[in-house]
Amino acid sequence: MIKQTIYSRVNTHIAAISRSYRFNGGTATVQLDSLGNYEVLVNGSRFSALENTAKRDSGYKTAIADISAKMQAAFEKRDSDFTGMHRNAPKMQRLSEHEKKINDLAPKKYVREQFSMSRPMRDEVRKELQQEATIRFADLYDEKTKERNAYINEHEKEAMALRLRGYEEIQAFFSDLQDDKESRANAAFQKEYDRQRKKIEDYIYGEHRSTEERLQNILGEINLPFKIDVACDYVEKKSLLNVDIVLPNDLNIPTNKANILSSGRVSVKDKLVKEVEQLKTETILSLVYYIAASLFNGAINIQTQRVSVWTSGMNEGLLWIQFDRNKFSRLSMRTVNVMVDYYEWPRIDALRMVRGASQFDGIFSHDFKNAINQTMIDNGIDDVQEAPNIPSSQGDCWVATLGYARALADALPNDSELQKIVSEANRTNVSKVSLPKKYKSIFTELMK
């Protein structure tokens, strides 16, 4: 289990914008702050008799239009920092890319050095013997050529053999050194090859320790405009990653907006309540897609990711969604509309329209977890065990968790059939029961 707090790393503060221009009286600077207030400085002074002259100059209108457009863009970017977080998600890694890396891998091979000493030649040996003979048979009074030649001929074969033995011994020693170097170098190359291959294979197959390290690093690189707590539970054998995101009490959602008036000036006003709520909903979904896209890169083995979003303290759940890697990898984070794509996945939420805005309502923790279990059953998710076949008074049954059944039994204390089923389930210590389908519609009504 990995737990990490991700702090705000995106600066959402909107700074004042200014533009200067030359006019007949000097230099004027027009400033605009994030509240929509304009100010003109003439030659660096806030109080100048030339202010009206500066405002009548054509450069004033151009400066007003420029800084107004930039301020509006700054407001739009600030909203995008919340609702467009998913666009910053890294590209999802593909299996084929890493299989190619393995295929391209090959251990390096040691290149042996060439033996630089040349083999002894007859001419070289005779030359050396000639030098010895010259010293041995010096010409003092008589010519010694005959004696020298005799000496050379007599010792040539022995000297040649001696030099060849020395050459071969040195060559053999050099060859042994090269064998040792080659063995050591190739062993090191093979070790590095094995290390690189294992690293890629660990990424593909999702070796638990290295995958958790990568997930930790990924969380450490995520940039958000607000603080959240994230917990990841990686289940290697099921190729599954469970993610819990705990939101703060305040997401610091921007509450004002900027519009350009017909005069060219910018108007900063408070957003309507429905605009703030809609922005909050889109922010939560953008966060979910951003986190999911990032964490899928923890390992190719992560084929399924389940993301739960909770309020502070995990007292209420806002949404649960399951993403499939193959389908998710086909999404373009730059262009996907998360408000639309969200409905394409198995999910749990209490998302509703309130005064023209989409809004997540909290679901109590116990009910939230039970609803998740039932959704997995309803969607045939294979890592949820089938409910035991408990006989029912009707053949057409609804598989429900024991928690659901108990909730129904509490709501219907006088229903003897339901009380009997729940009592038997409690006695046999099973986790799921089969109920007549009429109870499913009753439970749906109770959950509204």
| pLDDT digits 0-9 by tens, 318-327 | 999 999 998 9
Let me know whether 258 and 150 are in one domain.
no
Co-location of 362 and 284 in the same domain:
yes
Using the 3D structure, point to which of 374, 404, 427 is the last residue of a domain.
Answer: 374
3-state SS class at 268 = strand
8 Å CB contact between 355 and 365: no
Query: Are 344 and 331 in contact, with CB atoms under 8 Å apart?
Result: no
* Structural domain total, the chain: 3
Stated pTM of the model? 0.72
Whether residue 170 is found in the same domain as residue 254: no
Q: Tokens for 423, please give them.
A: 């009592």
Evaluate whether residue 41 is within a structural domain: no
Nearest Cα to 245, choosing from 211, 294, 208? Answer: 294
**Nearest Cα to 55, choosing from 74, 41, 69?**
41
Q: What is the pLDDT of residues 117-130, one digit of tens each?
A: 787 777 777 777 77
273 in the same domain as 310? yes
pLDDT in tens, 228-264: 999 999 998 889 999 999 999 999 999 999 999 988 9
Domain endpoint, select from 205, 233, 250: 205
Q: Do 366 and 220 fall within a single domain?
A: yes
What does the DSSP 8-state code read for residue 396? S
Q: Is residue 31 part of a domain?
A: no
264: left (phi over 0), alpha (psi -120 to 50) or beta: left
The residue range of the domain holding 412 is 385-447
In a domain, 152, yes or no: yes
Backbone angles phi, psi at 332, to 5 degrees: -100, 115
218 & 365 share domain:
yes
Q: How far apart are CA 243 and CA 386, in angstroms?
A: 24
Among 205, 221, 248, the domain-final residue is 205
For residue 395, the model assigns a pLDDT of 47
Over 50: is that where the pLDDT of 184 sits? yes
Whole-number Cα distances in Å, 441 to 39, 126, 429, 437, 447: 64, 113, 25, 7, 10
Instruction: Based on the fold, state whether residues 315 and 422 are members of the same structural domain.
Output: no
Residue 43 lies in a domain: no
What local confidence, expressed as pLDDT, does residue 74 receive? 96
Percent of the chain with pLDDT over 70: 92
Give the residue from 404, 405, 402 showing the smallest Cα distance to 430: 402
pLDDT in tens, 346-403: 999 988 888 888 999 999 999 999 989 888 887 777 553 333 333 333 446 767 666 6
Task: Quickly tell me which residue has 């002259």 as its tokens.
Answer: 53
Is residue 253 a contact partner of residue 279, using CB atoms and an 8 Å limit?
yes
Give the type of residue at 76.
E
Other beta carbons less than 10 A from residue 294's beta carbon: 20
Distance CA 14, CA 265 (A): 17
